[in-house]
């Protein structure tokens, strides 16, 4: 292995570079961050070349945030466009093998930091680029030649971002006419298990990976060229529930890969055994019980949702490989699936989206719902959201009256049971229970009390004999 100014090892996966130990920040929520892999003919690649367009590391100011784009070109006899997304997802792994360099997210959401200690050992990004390419060619031998260009110039990063988003869009469109029932196998991905040990990412034609980077075709290509790698086939097994997307094969792999933590994953359910959430998800969904609807917030949105919580807080509650009823991480392309949370109402259950996300996915939102789904411009809290939904007559409003009526009936039943079961003080020895009057309308005697629209708490009830005054 070549000599590098920093250590390289899988042991550094999960290492976090905190703000007080950071030299510079690249991309992230305060700037632009991008990574893209492109398959190229071998004669167009200068092997191991690193090009830097914009300020290099030594020209950067400590504590500052800079725009960042990484464009990798790969070539080889077995390299094909279907492998681009697969190689892209390994960028996260291999960068995090480098001591003192933190990498989060993917595609156009990349966020990196370089520690002060690592920055003191090198004055250029060149050895970093060479280290990452060395790891790629070692771990993925089908890559025969590779070069990378790092962009830190704002205008250049913006230009690369526009071009990359068109490429991502074209990749995502490939599964548009392919559905879960059309294939014999799904694919799994364990790339995120280093920081989400119980996460089981299942990729089907109708459900892209949580990070948004791996679709069904990508999973197939990866499993083909790297059978021992992190992407692998999942036998569908028997279909148990078409609406919720439950298969015996998925349940078996869920139990195995989560070390028994979960025994079911239902691909298209929000509330019943939902898909696990890793932490790399592009969007997180959250249930709003006050309106019986579901909101979605994307990683780029910096504001608060109507429930008073922002993306980062919800991501912390949802991620880590947990299966949380009421929260769900997804890749953005899942919005385009005809099976999008179909077990729980699909688009008819969506009540809130950040305006930037709503605009981004506008083409997939049903026309009759576009004006009925609120954004931060329409609702900033629960009360304003409720008023908006009522004004627009959103489909969830029809469920409110039925829910209130059902709740009233349940309360009446609970109150009757509570009164009947209220504890009594045991009478003293020799005490004679006074005769209770018979009430008309009943054959069993005693008193029946019915309370409507009331909440009663009884700590204890004392029955004593009334003594006559002498």
Is 211 labelled as part of a ligand binding site?
Answer: no
DSSP helix/strand/coil, 33: strand
DSSP 310: B
The H or E element that residue 180 is part of is none
And the tokens for 345? Answer: 């109402």
Q: Mention every residue, 6+ apart, whose C-beta is less than 8 A from residue 50.
A: 125, 126, 129, 130, 133, 147, 148, 149, 150
378 φ/ψ angles, rounded to the nearest 5 degrees: -110, -35
User: DSSP letters of 403-465?
Assistant: HHHHHHHHHHHHHHHHHHT--BPPPPTTPPPPPPPPPTT-SS-S-----SS-----S-B---P
The H or E element that residue 83 is part of is none
DSSP helix/strand/coil, 234: strand
- Cβ-count burial of 13 within 10 angstroms (0-12 exposed, 13-18 middle, 19+ buried)? middle
The 3-state secondary structure of 250-292, one letter per residue: HHHHHHHHCCCCCCCCCCCCCCCCCCCECCCCCEEEEEECCCC
Is 280 labelled as part of a ligand binding site?
Answer: yes
CA–CA distances in Å: residue 381 to residues 284, 325, 354, 385, 394: 18, 22, 13, 6, 17
- Cβ-count burial of 151 within 10 angstroms (0-12 exposed, 13-18 middle, 19+ buried)? buried
What residues are designated binding site?
Answer: 189, 192, 278, 280
Binding residues for [Ni-Fe-S] cluster, as ranges, are 189, 192, 278, 280
């Amino acid at each position: 292995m070549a000599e590098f100014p920093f250590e390289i090892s899988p042991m550094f996966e999960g290492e976090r570079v905190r703000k007080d130990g950071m030299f510079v920040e690249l991309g992230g929520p305060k700037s632009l961050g991008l990574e893209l892999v492109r398959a190229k003919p071998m004669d167009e690649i200068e092997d191991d070349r690193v090009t830097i367009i914009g300020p290099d590391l030594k020209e950067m100011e400590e504590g500052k945030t800079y725009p960042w784009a990484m464009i990798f070109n790969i070539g080889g006899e077995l390299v094909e466009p279907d492998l681009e997304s697969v190689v892209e997802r390994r960028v996260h792994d291999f960068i995090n093998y480098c001591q003192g360099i933190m990498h989060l997210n993917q595609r156009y959401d990349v966020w990196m930091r370089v520690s002060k200690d690592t920055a003191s050992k090198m004055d250029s990004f060149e050895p970093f680029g060479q280290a990452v390419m060395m790891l790629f060619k070692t771990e993925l031998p089908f890559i025969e030649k590779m070069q990378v260009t790092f962009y830190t110039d704002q205008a250049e990063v913006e230009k690369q971002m526009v071009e990359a988003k068109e490429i991502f869009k074209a990749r995502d469109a490939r599964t548009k006419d392919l559905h879960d029932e059309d294939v014999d196998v799904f694919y799994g991905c364990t790339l995120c298990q280093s920081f989400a040990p119980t996460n089981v990412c299942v990729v089907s034609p109708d459900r892209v990976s949580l990070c948004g980077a791996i679709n069904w075709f990508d999973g197939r290509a990866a499993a083909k060229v790297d059978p021992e790698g992190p992407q692998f086939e999942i036998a569908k097994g028997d279909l148990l529930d078409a609406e919720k997307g439950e298969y015996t094969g998925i349940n078996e792999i869920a139990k195995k890969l989560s070390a028994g933590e979960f025994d079911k994953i239902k691909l298209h359910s929000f509330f019943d055994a939902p898909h696990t959430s890793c932490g790399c998800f592009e969007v997180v969904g959250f249930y709003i019980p006050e309106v019986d609807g579901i909101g979605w917030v994307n990683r780029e949105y910096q504001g608060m949702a109507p429930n008073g919580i922002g993306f980062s807080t919800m991501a912390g509650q949802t991620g880590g490989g947990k299966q949380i009823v009421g929260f769900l991480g997804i890749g953005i392309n899942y919005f385009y699936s005809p099976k999008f949370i179909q077990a729980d109402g699909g688009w008819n259950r969506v009540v809130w989206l950040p305006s930037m996300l709503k605009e981004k996915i506008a083409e997939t939102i049903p026309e009759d719902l576009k004006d009925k789904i609120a954004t931060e411009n329409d609702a900033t809290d629960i009360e304003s959201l409720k008023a908006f939904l009522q004004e627009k007559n959103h489909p969830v409003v029809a469920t409110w009256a039925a829910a209130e009526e059902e709740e009233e009936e349940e309360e009446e039943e609970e109150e009757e049971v509570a009164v009947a079961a209220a504890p009594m003080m045991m009478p003293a020895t020799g005490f004679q229970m006074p005769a209770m009057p018979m009430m008309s309308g009943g054959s069993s005697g005693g008193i029946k009390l019915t309370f409507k629209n009331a909440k009663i708490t009884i700590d204890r009830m004392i029955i004593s004999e009334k003594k006559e005054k002498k």
